């Protein structure tokens, strides 16, 4: 329950109409969920305007509303008028749960690739330093030292879920929370009401242009996390810190956003936190972590040179929070991998099978270059591109796969309402553009289970099969329906069919 006075405090810029003292049971933006005594927030959506359902919400017993414009159906209903109902909804949910982010040091991790890995690494480092920490990432929520799998197809939950998780994490005793923060989550105000103290970026590359419209708009959405540092409530003794990647094109843009301090990491460009003497092997990564006034040998079981930047991002954030080099090394060493990220599936087969989440051009290129480093035979990749998402990347990813893999199996990855054959054709055009020949170098297998099985059948001793794009996800969208899906089950089934179990 929350009082009307608390609601007003959460929305100081709101214009009140017929407002009076009242108690609100719950807050919802879905008129179908309204119960007597609830507050209904009318959010204008892309396809549906919540203002159309105000009458339904009132008939269901809503005692107050938050709107962007007054409508006749409101009558004398206590109403708050705001300029951005979606943002207001996030702030109200934060207030409803008692503003839990104000009771912890909140660290946001954003970027195109590496967010989940960096979130996991930083959580492990803080834990190794003796801190009570919780986290919310693509794969799971860590509450009171227990990880609970999440089923979200997006990486940042709805505002109500974000605040509910933050409250549970804080009530379980956490003093630090690491929150994976996506561009969608920022642009759609799912993290409105979150008072960040540290903002970390991994990189900003080509992705989600279907939603944001342009790379600049996508970059601006990511930058909202860094602007949030200035607006967030200050907590005693906790500075506002920006952690930036000197090697990424986003650096100059994000560095211009004010913060109490900026910590810069990188390998190629001058940085305050860097790595030297890097060793990449099938056993993982090793390097000397270097920062002003200190250095520490670090060993990680994570695979792939690209993970150096994820490791540096987590280490830089930890150093900014006063964590020792020894604790950083212990934390990094404890993270053996993330579900669906360069994850080996071994059932005794004489070739390597790997599942990875790479679903952007940058991530696919890094993944294929990585596996090439420890493959003695052919590299066979299985991937697709999502429907109703950034079309420009399809042929581009086809070119990358055609250049860097020996065999390419093109298949489904959440086609949604687009024709799967058309998506596959766009990817295939990229393969053909770099000289690859269909049915010799690349294959079209629309059914993803059959595509994975086909790739495994092609593999010979010493080869490597990598399926990318689905990773940890537990559903695949055809039309408007999410069907159960497990990349792990598909790979294991394919190996079992070949006699490996």
Separation of alpha carbons 254 and 249, rounded Å: 10
Torsions phi, psi for 245 (to 5 deg) = -100, 110
What is the DSSP code (8-state) at residue 50?
A: G
What is the DSSP code (8-state) at residue 16?
A: E
Question: Which pLDDT score, from 0 to 100, does residue 152 have?
Answer: 47
Lowest pLDDT segment from 126-135, 182-191, 346-355, 485-494: 182-191
Question: Which pLDDT score, from 0 to 100, does residue 146 have?
Answer: 85
pLDDT tens, residue by residue, 454-483: 999 999 999 999 999 999 899 999 999 999
Question: Which pLDDT score, from 0 to 100, does residue 212 have?
Answer: 47
Lowest pLDDT segment from 142-151, 158-167, 217-226, 265-274: 142-151
Q: What is the mean pLDDT of residues 108-134?
A: 95
The DSSP element (H or E) to which 136 belongs, if any, is strand 133-136
**Using 50, 70 and 90 to split pLDDT, how confident is the model at 390?**
confident
pLDDT tens, residue by residue, 406-452: 999 999 999 999 999 999 999 999 999 999 999 999 999 999 999 99
**Using 50, 70 and 90 to split pLDDT, how confident is the model at 337?**
confident
Domain segments of the chain as ranges: 2-95, 98-334, 343-497
Torsions phi, psi for 482 (to 5 deg) = -90, 115
Question: Which pLDDT score, from 0 to 100, does residue 147 have?
Answer: 81
Superfamily of domain 98-334: Mur-like, catalytic domain (3.40.1190.10)
**Using 50, 70 and 90 to split pLDDT, how confident is the model at 14?**
very high
Residues 6+ apart with CB under 8 A from 306: 113, 114, 366, 369, 370
Contact 261, 241 (CB under 8 A): yes
Question: Which pLDDT score, from 0 to 100, does residue 253 have?
Answer: 95
Q: Taking all residues of the chain, what is their mean pLDDT, rounded to a whole number?
A: 93
Separation of alpha carbons 295 and 468, rounded Å: 35
Whether the predicted pLDDT of 141 surpasses 60: yes
pLDDT tens, residue by residue, 264-298: 999 999 999 999 999 998 789 999 999 999 999 99
CATH of span 343-497: 3.90.190.20
Question: Which pLDDT score, from 0 to 100, does residue 338 have?
Answer: 78
CATH of span 2-95: 3.40.1390.10
């Amino acid at each position: 329950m929350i009082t009307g006075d608390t609601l007003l405090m959460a929305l100081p810029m709101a214009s009140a109409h017929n407002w009076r003292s009242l108690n609100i049971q719950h807050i919802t933006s879905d008129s179908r969920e309204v119960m007597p005594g609830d507050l209904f927030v009318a959010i204008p959506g892309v396809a549906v305007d919540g203002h159309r359902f105000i009458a339904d919400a009132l008939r269901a017993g809503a005692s107050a509303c938050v709107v962007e414009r007054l409508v006749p159906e409101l009558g004398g209903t206590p109403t708050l008028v705001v300029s951005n109902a979606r943002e207001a909804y996030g702030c109200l949910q934060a207030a409803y749960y008692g503003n839990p982010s104000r009771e912890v040091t909140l660290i946001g991790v954003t970027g195109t690739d590496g967010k989940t890995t960096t979130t996991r690494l930083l959580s492990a480092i803080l834990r190794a330093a003796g801190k009570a920490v919780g986290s919310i990432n693509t794969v799971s929520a860590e509450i009171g030292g227990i990880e609970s799998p999440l089923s979200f197809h997006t990486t940042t939950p709805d505002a109500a879920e974000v605040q509910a998780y933050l409250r549970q994490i804080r009530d379980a005793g956490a003093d630090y929370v690491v929150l994976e923060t996506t561009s969608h989550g920022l642009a759609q105000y799912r993290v409105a009401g979150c008072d960040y103290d540290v903002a970390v970026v991994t990189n900003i590359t080509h992705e989600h242009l279907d939603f944001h419209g342009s790379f600049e708009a996508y970059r601006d959405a990511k930058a909202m996390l860094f602007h949030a540092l200035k607006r967030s409530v200050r907590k005693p003794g906790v500075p506002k810190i920006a952690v930036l990647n000197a090697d990424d094109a986003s650096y100059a843009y994000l560095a211009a956003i004010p913060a109490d301090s900026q910590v810069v990491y990188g390998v190629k460009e001058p940085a305050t936190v860097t790595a030297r003497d890097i060793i990449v092997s099938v056993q993982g990564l090793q390097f000397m972590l270097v920062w002003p006034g200190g250095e520490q040998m670090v060993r990680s079981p994570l695979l792939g040179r690209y993970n150096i930047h994820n490791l540096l991002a987590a280490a830089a954030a930890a150093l900014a929070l006063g964590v020792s080099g020894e604790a950083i090394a212990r934390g990094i060493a404890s993270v053996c991998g993330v579900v669906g990220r360069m994850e080996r599936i071994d059932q005794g087969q004489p070739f390597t099978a790997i599942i990875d989440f790479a679903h952007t051009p940058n991530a696919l290129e890094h993944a294929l270059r990585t596996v090439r480093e420890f493959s003695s035979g052919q590299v066979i990749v299985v991937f697709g591109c999502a429907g109703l998402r950034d079309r420009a990347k399809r042929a581009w990813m086809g070119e990358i796969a055609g250049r860097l893999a020996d065999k390419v199996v093109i298949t489904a990855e959440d086609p949604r309402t687009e024709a799967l054959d058309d998506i596959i054709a766009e990817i295939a055009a990229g393969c053909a553009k770099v000289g690859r020949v269909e049915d010799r170098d690349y294959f079209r297998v629309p059914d993803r289970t059959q595509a994975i099985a086909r790739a495994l059948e092609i593999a010979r001793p010493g080869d490597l099969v990598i399926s990318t794009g689905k990773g940890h996800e537990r559903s695949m969208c055809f039309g408007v329906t999410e069907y159960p899906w497990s990349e792990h089950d598909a790979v294991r089934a394919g190996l079992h069919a070949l006699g490996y179990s």
